[in-house]
Amino acid sequence: MSDSAGEPLSLDEKFNAVQPQSLDEKFNAMQELQRLKKLIGSEEDEISRLMLEKLESDSEKRKAQIETESWINSEDESTEQFRKDLEEIQEELKNLDRVDQDLKREYKDLEKKLQLKRAETDSLLQRFKIKAEIPVKRVKFTHPVEEEQEDREEHVESVFTVTQRPSHLLKGGHALITFEEEKVSEQILRLAKCSVSCDKTKMDVKPYALTLDPSVKFEVHIKVSKKTVKFRNAPPTLPEQRMRDRLELSFSRASRGGGEVQRVQYDEQNGTGHVTFLNTGVAENLVLRGKFCVDTDRDMLVDVLPLYQYQLKKFQTFSGVPNRTVMLGGIPEVMDEEDLQDHLEIHFQKPSNYGGEVENIKYVPAGKLLTAFFSEDNTDTDA
């Protein structure tokens, strides 16, 4: 039902518009009206609740969208940062690889230099085995001086002559050949090269004159005392003067192999010293024993050593040139070592090749080193 304007009527208007026929009908209508009002109120409440939930849902949705966009942006940034980090790491790996290659090349270069330095050191060691600074001093002979008899009785003297044989360091791909006659080596040295036949092939070797490394000769004069010995491992367990007295008293006891002591020298810092006996023979016996027991605040076992002096005299250096020996260089490895040496010897024995009788020959293959020694008259070669 609607009014004259066509607008819908409310429940109350509808109720008033209805003219009930009795009170019961009016009461029932009133109850129905209240029920409908409650129902409409609950529906409105439900609509409000749903609208609030919808608003909250929309708010949560917006927050979720914002968080999702934030995570997506963060993931994009992380991905970009990861890509940049990966590129940096790859570039760093490339740099490290280049550095590693450079270090390997540098290591190989240093290894080659070390080998060259070692070869140079070996050569220098052969040439300069002994180095001594000999001062220049003007001297004038006046008269001979006889050595005192007492000094000869107190020492044993020995003279050793040390002679270094002349030598030459022979490298790989070279050979030394010594002829019986000097004129043969002179003929070979005048040749620019020698063509040596080896089965089905030929090889050109070049002859060189040989200069030996410097060598030395000298005398070592040694004087060993018959009356004085050295001792060590004697720490100062007592004051210095008491230690001297104890040492003198202990070394004086004949029951322990000692004898009458002339003097004692003691260095408390090093625990070493010298003992000089009045008579000969005591020092020799103690040195042979090697140990001696000294009475201090406790029994102390010390080492006993001989006392000697040595001098270097008549030091001479000299170098030689072997007149009958020729060095052959540039020898390729075309066959076995022994077969190659035999072919070299056969070639240089023939007079048609300007050769002669071979006294000795030694070939060193590539990659090896050999020291050749010569006698003083330069006639024998011993490798």
What mean pLDDT value characterizes the chain?
81
Q: 300: Cβ–Cβ under 8 A, 6 or more apart, which residues?
A: 234, 235, 237, 293, 294
Tokens matching residue 250: 């202990």
What are the pLDDT digits (tens) for 323-368?
889 999 888 888 888 888 888 888 888 898 888 898 889 988 888 8
Instruction: Identify which has the larger pLDDT, 127 or 366.
Output: 366
Over residues 157-171, mean pLDDT: 83
pLDDT at residue number 231: 92
What are the pLDDT digits (tens) for 283-303?
999 999 899 998 887 888 999
What are the pLDDT digits (tens) for 56-106?
888 888 888 888 888 888 888 888 888 888 999 999 899 998 899 989 988
Q: What are the angstrom distances between the C-alpha of 320 and each of 177, 317, 359, 379?
A: 17, 10, 19, 12
What are the pLDDT digits (tens) for 235-266?
888 888 999 999 999 999 988 888 999 999 99
What are the pLDDT digits (tens) for 8-60?
555 555 555 555 456 777 778 788 888 887 888 788 778 888 888 888 888 88
Over residues 317-328, mean pLDDT: 84
pLDDT band at 124 (very low <50, low <70, confident <90, very high): low
Question: Pick from 161, 298, 151: which is nearest to 221 by CA?
Answer: 161
